Amino acid sequence: MKTKIQTAVILVGGAGLRMHPLTEDMPKCMIPLHGKPLLYWTLTWLKNYDFKTIVLGVAYRKEVVVNYLKENPMGVEVNFSEHTIEGETGEGFRLAIERYVNDGDFLAMNGDEFANLNLQEFAEFHLKHKPVATIAVSPMQSPFGILEIDGDNIVGFKEKPILADKLVSIGIYVFNHSIFRLLASKRIYRKNNISVARKK
């Protein structure tokens, strides 16, 4: 499956503090799943959609990512953009775009995300609406059981239900290159800059 967008920026520099001890010696994207690091599955997914260029924003334990891809080439062009852990998402995306992204529109995501999102449809949605940013969203699954109350009585209990009226970002975006100046000026949430693509 081929998308009209063929460059992806993936941030893989998080320290993964909530994942300790798994991330004491590696970033989250290198945690193994079925014998392969998470990053392998992400890059395979992108390759299946015919992405040609991948920019990895690296910080924490960056040498683990760099060495893995040197020893296990994935058949796509990979560039490494280093940022500070303290700079977090904004700095990671801004530096990666400044250094390596020339395309008008590109995919952007966090390196620990998994989704069955159709990237071809996602890219086409963005290109049709032409915003600065398109965010893939999904209904939120409550981390808690939800009580149904009638007066003083509990009449129902839903264990961690899907909240259809609450949408959350799934950490996957399509950006227009003009987002670079918004990241630099921190004006990204200005009206009409962002479209929402609902995950079915």
Q: State how many domains the chain has.
A: 1
The answer as to whether 106 is a domain residue is: yes
Read off the pLDDT of residues 113-157 as tens digits, 9 standing for 90 and up: 888 999 999 999 999 999 999 999 999 999 999 999 999 999 999
Q: Is residue 117 part of a domain?
A: yes
162, part of any domain: no
Q: Is the peptide bond before 37 cis (omega within 30 degrees of 0)?
A: no
With helix as H, strand as E and coil as C, how does 102-121 read? Answer: CCCEEEEEECCCCCCCCHHH
* 1 lies in some domain: no
Distance CA 181, CA 7 (A): 19
Tell whether 161 is covered by a domain.
Answer: no
The pLDDT tens digits for 47-104 are 999 999 999 999 999 999 999 999 999 999 999 999 987 777 888 999 999 999 999 9
Residue 140 lies in a domain: no
Q: Could you list the residue range(s) of the whole structural domain that residue 191 is in?
A: 7-135+168-198
Domain CATH for 122 = 3.90.550.10
* 102 in a structural domain: yes
